[in-house]
Amino acid sequence: MGNAAEIYGKVYVLRLGHRPSRDKRVSTHVGLVARAFGANGFILAPICDESVVRSLRRVLEEWGGEMLLECTDNPLSYATQWRRSGGEIIHLTMYGLPVDNVIDTIRMSPRPKLIIVGAEKVPGQYYELADYNVSIGRQPHSEIAALALFLDRLYKGLELYLEHENRCLEIVPSPGGKKVVEIGGGSNAADDRADVRP
């Protein structure tokens, strides 16, 4: 699979409504899914939570990949600007159109994609601004699950085979235990490491 930059230029994820007091873990996981499943940008809004950004940066350093990490305190202006500059906006919401109805059109469009996922209630302006309001099933669930499934549909499952560049660590699939290879530093022997998971 070509990476997001090769296919669309940008596939960014805008995590809207982050509340540091309660969303640290979920927002970090949204960022982890974005990176692991083929996005190349993660925008946290409206509060810049350094602990989330730090965790994601650490994973990028160890496990590789190119992903822009940014914050904005004005996500509506960010999204508006995204459209003005030729990108399209996909807002994931249980109220939207079923993903299977729109994913082929979205996949075929070469426009940069901004995928918006909320935390609390998403203001109506985003529904109007979006090119697509997309539902992943018709039940309320989770921004992490919604993003993972959307990216999986977008890339037709190939995101699971992404090779992240500049990685220091690589997992060797194993039927039991944890096998991790360190790349570029010291021995390349696979060993058991319990402490390398994000």
Closest approach of ligand SAM to the CB of residue 138, in Å:
7
Pick the closest to residue 28 from 50, 9, 5, 3 (CA basis).
50
As measured in angstroms, the least distance from the Cβ of 37 to ligand SAM is 15
User: Between vectors from CA 174 to CA 171 and to CA 178, what angle results, nearest 5°?
Assistant: 60
Q: Which is nearer to ligand SAM, 3 or 93 (CB)?
A: 93
Please state the closest distance from residue 90 (CB atom) to ligand SAM, in A: 10
Q: Identify whether the C-beta of residue 168 lies closer than 8 Å to the C-beta of residue 64.
A: yes
Q: CA 128, CA 106: separation in Å to the nearest integer?
A: 17
Residue nearest ligand SAM (C-beta atom) = 118
Of residues 5, 61, 55, the one with CA closest to residue 30: 55
14 forms beta bridges with 43, 116
Judged by CB, which is closer to ligand SAM: 86, or 137? 137
Nearer to ligand SAM, 55 or 135 (CB): 135
CB nearer ligand SAM, residue 19 or residue 111: 19
As measured in angstroms, the least distance from the Cβ of 168 to ligand SAM is 32
The H or E element spanning position 89 is: strand 88-98
Q: Smallest gap, in angstroms, from Cβ of residue 118 to ligand SAM?
A: 2
Cβ-based neighbour number of residue 95 at 10 Å: 12
- Enumerate binding residues for ligand SAM (CB under 6 A): 92-95, 117-119, 122, 135-137, 139-143, 146
| For ligand SAM, the closer CB: 58 or 141 | 141
Among residues 28 and 93, whose Cβ is nearest to ligand SAM? 93
Whole-number minimum distance, CB 29 to ligand SAM, in Å?
Answer: 12
SS (H, E, C) 128-193: HHCCEEEECCCCCCCHHHHHHHHHHHHCCCHHHHCCCCCCCEEECCCCCCCEEEECCCCCCCCEEC
